[in-house]
Amino acid sequence: MSDVTKMLSAIENGEQTAADELLPLVYQELRKLVRLRFFAGLTLAEAARALGISSSTADNDWAYAKTWLQLEMSDSDEIEKNS
């Protein structure tokens, strides 16, 4: 059972601190996927296999990570323009 799965189970069982502990783990998993895609040059299917997750989970995570990165980059571009 992965750490994320354990945390989700704890949240379902009413452990209040589990939600606070889950967010960093989720971002850690997203970072792993981004690193495999950008730096190792793996396809999405290869990255999913390397991480032990389903292709659909990898696809969803990849879409989220790309959107987050685009938003972060556009926010920093906007800040630079207004400086």
For the stretch 49-79, pLDDT in tens is 999 999 999 999 999 888 888 887 786 556 5
Contacts of 16 (CB under 8 A, 6+ apart): none
Distance CA 71, CA 69 (A): 5
- The pLDDT tens digits of the residues spanning 17-57 come to 766 676 677 788 888 998 999 889 999 999 999 999 999 99
Pick the CATH number of 3-82 from 1.20.1260, 1.20.120, 1.10.10, 3.40.50: 1.10.10
pLDDT at 77: 57
| Residue spans per domain, the chain | 3-82
Which token pair is 45? 């299917």
pTM > 0.95: yes or no: no
pLDDT at 42: 96
pLDDT at 9 over 80: no
Distance CA 16, CA 25 (A): 16
